[in-house]
Structure 1
Amino acid sequence: MTLDPVWISSELDAIDSLGDKPLEKGRRLEALISAIFSLVSGLEYDGADLLNFYKTEEIDLLFWNDRERDGVHFLDCPLIIECKSSSTPLAGRDLRYFATTLADKGRRSGVLVALGGVAGNERSASAGFYHMTAALGGGVTILVVTREDLLALTTVLDLVALLKRRLLALTRSQILEAGGA
């Protein structure tokens, strides 16, 4: 299934044009992400902005994952997706909070769409990247999708391949290289 990069770009521009309206920006990003992920084989949209019983936590997007072989069979069912529309890199505490949310819901993996990316340095696992690797050590995998990632998508299979690459890179970050190579 093909994706229209012009449509994705125009949606991201529309999000940016909302300026200081975080609620509207978030809703528009959620709509974009739900439209894209709904095209992935085996994923079925189940809802947005779902509050827990105590109204203390919200899940941005929830998908049923039939774990189709050509889909995201390597991710949880149900699949939780968090959307952050800020253009600035996401702080480590936001990644830690998402990891805790996933663990509290009994999930082992989730997707975090952070338009501004993640604060810190991936190679040295600092800031947000530290919290991603720490969560992995605790059995929770967070896969990040950025603005640049969204702009590069031309097919749904591109998204699946991106998530696979992110999972492999995150796993590699836990492996000590012999001899410092």
Structure 2
Amino acid sequence: MVAIPQQEIIDHLAAGDAGNTDQKGKALEDVIEQTLCLIDGVGLIHRNVEDLPGSLEIDLILYNHQVKGTGLPFLPPLLIVECKNWAAPVNTATLRAFTSKIHRMKLKFGLLVAANGITGDAVDITAAHAHLRDVFNRDDEIILVITRAELCGANSTEDLGVLLRQKYGRFIMGMASF
């Protein structure tokens, strides 16, 4: 278990908040990269990478060695991460763009870090929540959503791992709180 430097995260995000849209996005990407890469077996492969035609851009591609007993053994070897440091929840259209990237890469898992979550109601499964459920039911693709508050509430890699495990379990069981 590694402590997550919460004050550094809060300060870095606050500095990003004071900047323009690109600086806000970069600040969240920085924090996610630094935080997730503290987890045993997780590291960076690429950041802000495009495919050859330039039609698909990914914020972070992380490797996951699936270290048993620690780390994230329940998640796949490649973690595709999209970061949205927006004041508003991420809408269905934006989420569709991300899920289409996951589908196009023939992967089954993605992580959306949405500062203020996604649109709709998690319990009634409406709006963006409905899209996530549809994608899972149709294509077996799992997209987990982490909010900025959840990220800032994780004091250690163990806390972050527990958060992801709980979200994963709730997602596959069709429960609210993706």
4+ aligned runs moved over 2 Å, structure 1: none
Q: 1: distance between equivalents of 2:141 and 2:98?
A: 10
User: May I ask how many residue pairs the two structures share in their alignment?
Assistant: 173
Structure 1 spans left out of the alignment, 5+ residues:
176-181
For residues 11-67 of structure 1, the C-alpha deviation after alignment (integer angstroms, 9 at most, x for no partner) is 22122111xx22221112111110001111111211200000000110100111111
Deviation of 1:174 after TM superposition, in Å, equals 6.6
Q: 2: distance between equivalents of 1:95 and 1:168?
A: 21
For residues 134-171 of structure 1, the C-alpha deviation after alignment (integer angstroms, 9 at most, x for no partner) is 11112110011101101101001111111111111212
Give SS of 1:160's match. Answer: helix
Question: Between the two proteins, what is the percent identity of the paired residues?
Answer: 27
Instruction: Specify the alignment match of 1:37 in structure 2.
Output: 36
Instruction: Specify the alignment match of 2:166 in structure 1.
Output: 165
Instruction: Specify the alignment match of 1:57 in structure 2.
Output: 56
With normalisation by structure 1, the TM-score equals 0.91
Whether contact under 8 Å (2:16, 2:26) holds in the other structure is no
Q: 1: distance between equivalents of 2:84 and 2:54?
A: 20
What is the RMSD computed on CA atoms of the aligned residues?
1.4
With normalisation by structure 2, the TM-score equals 0.92
